[in-house]
A and B are shown apart, each in its own frame.
Chain A
Amino acid sequence: MLDIWTIAGLLAKAAMYVGMLTAGGLVIVHCAFASHVRDVASSMRSMALFCAILGAVAAFASFTLRGAALTGGASGLTDPEILGLLWQTPAGSALLYRLSGLGILCLGLLVGGVGWTVALFGTGLLLWSFSIIGHVADDTAIWIELVLFLHVIVASFWIGVLMPLSRLSKRPETVAAAGDLGHKFGQIAFGAIPLLVVAGLLLSWRLVGSWSALFATGYGLMLVAKVLLVAGLLGLGALNKYRFVPRLLADEPGAGDIFRRVLGIEWAVFFLVFGATAFLTAFFALPGG
């Protein structure tokens, strides 16, 4: 059942997650830690702009590829009737939120200064788009959409801190700033990451419905795979907080290099999580759905 349009749609969706969550995360991190990331604010802005453009292109591609999936051929990519039909569904609303959010985000980044707050508003729009489409949007309870919104905000925040941490830990003169940022992030993450996990568990319970469905359905097994990946991320995050960030703060030789390698692994795991999420939201049906 996995035809070329479905596979292309999954890839576009994964790229959209990377672009949108990284762009949004960089904005959140800049707003939360402006004084700590001053030395890398310029490269954060460039990266956020690049990711926002990637997210916008991928979001548009994901939408049109859905059109192709509906016709089973390339004609669906541009078929005005099919795309018009799609536009009237939550897929259209989500695309509108995403493109508007990314547009506002880019505008804010280009303005700079107070524009970062404008970009944060755009980030809110694009992250909220996840709650108006997908399996969670099928749920009639509003709280589940808010839980997903919270889940996505925290995930984005986490992804957004990786690049500034990596850049800061690269140069000897900013290694201490990397340690400081890592320490501050760790303090917030200590409260926020459990929220991410609890939100994820709540969503899983609500969507899957039972332990048996978790291990007896494709959706459940893919969800388990995602949970294991996130558990790996939590382990890496804990390593950073308790081992590598203190080494950075103590200005130990080579601490920056090891820290960046761990951040690189975190990035790779995040890519896998994005892939698993794209699969979960696009390909698998909910148990009993």
Chain B
Amino acid sequence: MKHISAVIIFFLLPTVAYAHSKMDATSPTDGAVLNEAPTEIAFTFSGKLRLTKVEASHSSGGAQTIDLSDHTSFTNEFTLPIDPMGPGSYDIEWRGLGTDGHAMQGSFTFNVE
């Protein structure tokens, strides 16, 4: 047990703590019904993260991968361009990395009349 105590004492070192993130809001909001297809979408997270993939799929079968090349840092807010795909249902799926190392993912939908 002497060895165990020595190891415990050795590791009494401070560790940097990180915060989790969750999606606070999106634009358009989840389930929104719009008159016109948006040209950009936005995410707001409670903590900083780095988006690694965002895909938009449309009820017509169309899909597009959103360009993230301008977003290479950890931040709370993202505004991303999207090519309008006409009336129908849009499903936005995102994946991201939290500063705590957690891989996160989520989705939201909206409709265009």
Complex Cα spacing A86 to B95, Å? 13
Quick check: is B66 within 8 A (CB to CB) of the other chain? no
Checking A85, A128, A188 against B11 with a beta-carbon cut-off of 8 angstroms, the contacting residue is A128
Can you name 22 A-B pairs with beta carbons within 8 Å?
Answer: A1-B106, A28-B4, A32-B4, A66-B103, A69-B95, A70-B52, A70-B95, A70-B96, A70-B103, A76-B52, A86-B101, A89-B100, A94-B101, A120-B3, A124-B8, A128-B11, A131-B15, A133-B101, A139-B17, A142-B14, A142-B15, A285-B22
The chain B residue with its CB closest to the CB of A188 is B1
Shortest Cβ gap from A72 to chain B (Å): 6
In the complex, chain A residues whose CB is within 8 Å of the CB of B55 = 72
* Chain B interface category by residue count: 20 to 34
Asked if B22 contacts A153 (CB within 8 A), the reply is no
Asked if A70 contacts B53 (CB within 8 A), the reply is yes
Checking B15, B96, B106 against A145 with a beta-carbon cut-off of 8 angstroms, the contacting residue is B15
Question: Which residues in chain B, 5-57, are within 8 Å of chain A measured between CB atoms?
Answer: 7-8, 10-12, 14-20, 22, 50, 52-53, 55
Shortest Cβ gap from A184 to chain B (Å): 11
Interface of chain A: mostly helix, strand, loop or mixed: helix
Quick check: is B105 within 8 A (CB to CB) of the other chain? yes
Checking A32, A89, A94, A289 against B97 with a beta-carbon cut-off of 8 angstroms, the contacting residue is A89
Asked if B3 contacts A71 (CB within 8 A), the reply is no
Asked if A153 contacts B14 (CB within 8 A), the reply is no
Quick check: is B76 within 8 A (CB to CB) of the other chain? no
Quick check: is A57 within 8 A (CB to CB) of the other chain? no
Checking B10, B14, B19, B93 against A138 with a beta-carbon cut-off of 8 angstroms, the contacting residue is B19
Quick check: is A123 within 8 A (CB to CB) of the other chain? yes
The chain B residue with its CB closest to the CB of A131 is B15
| A-binding residues in B (CB < 8 A) | 1, 3-4, 7-8, 10-12, 14-20, 22, 50, 52-53, 55, 93, 95-103, 105-106
The chain B residue with its CB closest to the CB of A121 is B7
Quick check: is A8 within 8 A (CB to CB) of the other chain? no
Q: Using an 8 Å CB-CB cutoff, how does the interface string of A19-32 with B read, 1 for contact, 0 for none?
A: 00000000010011
Quick check: is A91 within 8 A (CB to CB) of the other chain? yes
Question: Which residues in chain A, 139-180, are within 8 Å of chain B measured between CB atoms?
Answer: 139-140, 142, 145-146, 149-150, 153
In the complex, chain B residues whose CB is within 8 Å of the CB of A137 = 15, 17-18, 100
Contact flag A133-B50 (CB < 8 Å), given A124-B11, A153-B8: no
In the complex, chain A residues whose CB is within 8 Å of the CB of B1 = 32, 188
Kindly list the 6 A-B residue pairs having the minimum CB-CB distance in the complex, ordered from nearest.
A91-B101, A124-B7, A89-B101, A69-B103, A70-B52, A90-B101
Complex Cα spacing A286 to B104, Å? 13
In the complex, chain A residues whose CB is within 8 Å of the CB of B105 = 1, 69, 72
Q: Using an 8 Å CB-CB cutoff, how does the interface string of A204-216 with B read, 1 for contact, 0 for none?
A: 0000000000000
The chain A residue with its CB closest to the CB of B12 is A146
Q: Which of B17, B19, B101 has the most CB of A within 10 A?
A: B101
Complex Cα spacing A72 to B63, Å? 15
Asked if B95 contacts A71 (CB within 8 A), the reply is yes
Given A32-B1, A85-B50, A135-B20, 20 more pairs with CB closer than 8 A: A32-B4, A69-B105, A71-B52, A72-B55, A85-B52, A86-B101, A90-B18, A90-B101, A91-B102, A92-B101, A94-B101, A120-B4, A123-B7, A124-B11, A137-B18, A137-B100, A138-B17, A149-B11, A289-B20, A289-B22
